[in-house]
Structure 1
Amino acid sequence: MVTAAAVDLSVDLAGARLANPIMTASGCAANGPELHRFIDVAQLGAFVTKSVKANPQSGRGTPRMAETDSGMLNSIGLQGPGINAFIEKDLPWLRSVGARVIVSIAGSTAAEFATVTRSLVAAEAFDCVAAIEVNISCPNVANRGLVFACAPESSRQVISLVRAEAPHSVPLFAKLTPDVTDIVEIADAALDAGAHGLTMINTLLGIGIDTERLRPHLAGVTGGLSGPAIRPVAVRAIWQVHAAMRAGRLPLAPILGVGGVRTGTDALELVAAGASAIQVGTAIFNDPTAPIRVRDQVADLIAGHGFTRFTDVVGIAHERTA
């Protein structure tokens, strides 16, 4: 009988070798110190930072968050201090506690993504960066034209510019939106432009109405829907892209699965669909220990199925269709 302790959770994500496949999701644990009060962030496979832009940004107006029946809407708007403050304060702190870091980057223009990457690579603490996540899909912006992942051409442009600035030894993961007609087409453009892998999915665009005041809950009107409600959408997107990889329509590449993961069972669903690693996001808001708990539950579940390696379960559902 296989025990959880015997399960090898290590993963190799296009050259980023991690002790286990569980990460935070960008924007759900700030840049480390806040979550470190509850868990040792160095025990995660990787800590994914809040998306960082070139310059300080105040974000969108308040109220910015609203609960839904099965998740939440947020309209933060990529608030942050900018790349210079990040590399002077946040990244050195993450390195000091031994965290493996995936830096999420964002921009209002394709050129801004390149600028942020250039500054990041020059940072003294860059050696703790395991990968770069290119957030081309944030819905929390006033101008929907800035959601680069809604079109193959703009996805390709951003990834190409980032690829030119980043060391080839550091994997790039393009974060995709499900709010498109054909996510396989977008994945193909990102991978063709130089992405080593994909993060799927970002939040879905939604609106909540306050039925007492008969007006939107959020000052920005629209927001990103996250939480358990979106997990079936994440499973679908991961399934479609991984199936395209298996069929030879896309190159084989790791997928970081994210969307509504609260438990090890939730995580295993995404893994069986084709995710090579898992990000835990909204669950952290009510249980800061969720990433560690999910990691341990995944090990228990894999052992219960008789497997000794996490990687043996990646995409397994594709082999077991009726």
Structure 2
Amino acid sequence: MDISVTLRGQTHDLALKNPVLTASGTFGCGLEFAPYGDLKSLGGIVVKGISLLPREGNPCPRVVETAAGMLNAVGLQNDGVEDFCAHKLPSLPWRDTPIIANIYAASTDEFADLAARLNVEDGVAALEINVSCPNVAKGGVLFGQDPVLTAAVTSAVRKAAPRKHVMVKLSPNVTDIALMAKSAEDAGADSVSCINTLLGMAVDLRLRRPKLANVLGGLSGPAIKPVALRCVWQVARAVRIPVVGVGGIVNAHDALEFILAGAHAVQIGSGNFMRPDCAFTVAAQLPAACEKIGVKSMEELRGTLQNGSALQRKHPAMA
């Protein structure tokens, strides 16, 4: 059975041996999870967010468990792009598995500088733009909440990294995620991934204070899967570029649901915290899961979700 997929972009394609990627911020730089599976067996590795300079992140506590999920306010802690290129990237299996660098910055120019630095690295196959960052020059508004800003940063990265596949990671904390996806596509994105975390909070009733030092955090895990599926379905109908589904995927069945809704590939996020071999297991179980539902390729399943009216015609009792 062939479960390979290709993210056919406007400028660069990204070939994957299978549609299972890791999600940024949940898999370290990849090397931390090597004891739990073969990194080469994954479709791709999306490393944790990288900035131009080292970043300490938010104060603790910055992770808290919630019903069917977790909240995090890690604050994008990392050692900076130079450390990544010098000490982490060389040890990753980039000749066998595409390495996707998730990048974030506080201005369009900074995004461009970071993209230009990674553009010269042969080990980086693609860049995933985190548009859930605050734009300092615009008073802290998030890039991903304004279609004009989304387009501006996408265009800047596209121009600064002509050798790379450019993916834009969309935020669900918007009124119209399809509009954001279209703005990224029009600005030159090769693909989009959705969704990033949902904004949430948790409180300690006994102590009468927030459980996160940052008060607010990003909600992820199985709890957000219905929202992520909805976003993927809406985005896949709005753009021609490939869509990568993210949000609550913990098994092969989940992954196939996202592909049915229109995704070309998926990312495993919080599942890696629940079970460190999760991404490897999903990739390994995907062929059997496809065979069980009579699917011979990802292309055969992708985007074949029937609409409500079709279901009602087939099952009148549902009307």
Question: TM-score, structure 2 length as denominator?
Answer: 0.91
TM-superposed deviation, 1:119: 0.9
| 2: CA distance, partners of 1:35 / 1:8 | 26
| 2: CA distance, partners of 1:8 / 1:128 | 25
Q: Name the structure 1 match of 2:24.
A: 26
The alignment partner of 1:42 has SS state of helix
Q: Name the structure 2 match of 1:155.
A: 150
TM-superposed deviation, 1:72: 0.2
The alignment partner of 2:36 has SS state of coil
1:306 and 2:294 equivalent?
Answer: yes
For residues 34-68 of structure 1, the C-alpha deviation after alignment (integer angstroms, 9 at most, x for no partner) is: 11111111110001010101111001111000000
For residues 108-129 of structure 1, the C-alpha deviation after alignment (integer angstroms, 9 at most, x for no partner) is: 111111111111112xxx2232
Within 5 Å, which residues of 2 pair with 1:181-196? 181-196=175-190
Distance 1:302 1:285, change over 3 A: same
Tell me the C-alpha RMSD between the 2 structures.
1.8
Question: TM-score, structure 1 length as denominator?
Answer: 0.90
Give the aligned length.
Answer: 304
| 2: CA distance, partners of 1:147 / 1:278 | 24
The alignment partner of 1:184 has SS state of helix
TM-superposed deviation, 1:24: 0.6
Q: Name the structure 2 match of 1:227.
A: 221
Within 5 Å, which residues of 2 pair with 1:99-118? 99-118=97-116
Match of 1:179 among 169, 173, 188: 173
Q: Name the structure 2 match of 1:89.
A: 87
Preserved CA contact (<8 Å) 2:44 2:98: yes
TM-superposed deviation, 1:174: 0.5
1:165 and 2:150 equivalent?
Answer: no
Match of 1:239 among 233, 243, 250: 233
Which amino acid in 1 is paired with 2:209?
R
Match of 1:46 among 38, 44, 65: 44
The alignment partner of 1:180 has SS state of coil
For residues 251-309 of structure 1, the C-alpha deviation after alignment (integer angstroms, 9 at most, x for no partner) is: x1111111001111111111111110010010111211111211233222211122211
TM-superposed deviation, 1:241: 1.2
Preserved CA contact (<8 Å) 1:51 1:78: yes
Q: Percent sequence identity over matched residues?
A: 40
TM-superposed deviation, 1:96: 6.7
Preserved CA contact (<8 Å) 1:16 1:171: yes
Which blocks of at least 5 consecutive residues in structure 2 are unaligned? Answer: 312-319
The alignment partner of 1:23 has SS state of strand
The alignment partner of 1:317 has SS state of coil
| 1: CA distance, partners of 2:26 / 2:252 | 18
For residues 115-170 of structure 1, the C-alpha deviation after alignment (integer angstroms, 9 at most, x for no partner) is: 11111112xxx22322211111258x9x9935210110110110011011112x52
For residues 57-92 of structure 1, the C-alpha deviation after alignment (integer angstroms, 9 at most, x for no partner) is: 001111000000110000011111111111111111
Q: Name the structure 2 match of 1:13.
A: 7
The alignment partner of 2:50 has SS state of coil
Which blocks of at least 5 consecutive residues in structure 1 are unaligned? Answer: 1-6, 245-249
Q: Name the structure 2 match of 1:274.
A: 262
More deviation in 298-307 or 281-290? Answer: 298-307
Which amino acid in 2 is paired with 1:155?
T
Q: Name the structure 1 match of 2:65.
A: 67
| 2: CA distance, partners of 1:145 / 1:267 | 34
The alignment partner of 2:92 has SS state of helix
Which amino acid in 2 is paired with 1:90?
K
Match of 1:263 among 251, 258, 269: 251
TM-superposed deviation, 1:104: 0.6
For residues 149-194 of structure 1, the C-alpha deviation after alignment (integer angstroms, 9 at most, x for no partner) is: 0110110110011011112x52111000111001111111111011
More deviation in 91-100 or 171-180? Answer: 91-100
Which amino acid in 2 is paired with 1:145?
G
Distance 1:144 1:52, change over 3 A: farther
Q: Name the structure 2 match of 1:4.
A: none
Distance 1:165 1:97, change over 3 A: closer
TM-superposed deviation, 1:319: 6.6
Which amino acid in 2 is paired with 1:310?
M
Which amino acid in 2 is paired with 1:269?
E
